[in-house]
């Protein structure tokens, strides 16, 4: 197999939705690697309480600690990856922590599982190792949202050096949120 760019962003998004383990969970915590479970693709983000979705986040995942993980996918050749995607992600993060009720996220997850012919409790247990009979996990999701404890992942087949610098700066400066580049390939030197 040889590394290659994706034909379209949608192909990349479908792959990530089907195989969340592609996200580098050990990059965040090598002693206890993050495991991810997809809540939904094109997750609506409202800009006011109870409002309709103004934006759509490419993917919303949860990890085993109930930390919402916002994922925006771009191809490395997409010029929007340079600056626009950072502002876009900050819009999503700021509004999601204010306007995403954990109960709504749970409902979207359960509907997605049902549509896929899967049992939501089995998915929680199999993908995250979470006790599916406990409401504790969803209470942690709610607490994490209320505390602003989220993770933002910028995923691309290649992360150019300019946005990588911005994302790495944000990761150091923005606590308790984590902001990480998650490229599938090493950074290519600028021409």
Beta-strand ranges (E) seen in the chain are 36-46, 53-63, 68-74, 151-156, 178-181
End-to-end CA distance of the chain: 26
Q: Are 71 and 60 in contact (CB under 8 A)?
A: yes
pLDDT in tens, 77-124: 777 666 788 888 999 999 999 999 999 999 999 999 999 999 999 999
pLDDT at 188 over 70: no
User: What is the reported pLDDT for 57?
Assistant: 92
pLDDT in tens, 37-73: 999 999 989 988 888 888 899 999 999 999 999 999 8
**How far is 40 from 59, CA to CA, in rounded Å?**
6
């Amino acid at each position: 197999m040889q590394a290659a760019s994706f034909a379209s962003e949608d192909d990349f998004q479908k792959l990530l939705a089907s195989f969340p383990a592609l996200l580098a969970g050990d990059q965040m915590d090598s002693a206890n690697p993050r495991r991810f479970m997809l809540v939904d693709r094109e997750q609506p983000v409202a800009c006011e309480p109870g409002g309709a979705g103004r934006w759509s986040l490419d993917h919303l995942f949860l990890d085993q600690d109930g930390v919402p993980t916002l994922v925006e996918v771009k191809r490395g050749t997409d010029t929007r990856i340079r600056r626009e995607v950072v502002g876009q992600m900050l819009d999503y993060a700021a509004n999601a922590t204010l306007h995403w009720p954990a109960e709504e996220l749970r409902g979207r997850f359960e509907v997605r599982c049902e549509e896929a012919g899967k049992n939501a409790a089995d998915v929680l247990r199999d993908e995250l190792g979470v006790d599916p009979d406990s409401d504790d996990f969803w209470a942690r999701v709610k607490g994490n949202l209320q505390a602003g404890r989220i993770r933002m992942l910028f995923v691309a087949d290649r992360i150019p050096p300019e946005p990588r610098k911005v994302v790495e700066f944000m990761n150091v400066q923005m606590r308790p949120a984590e902001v990480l580049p998650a490229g599938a390939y090493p950074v290519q030197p600028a021409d």
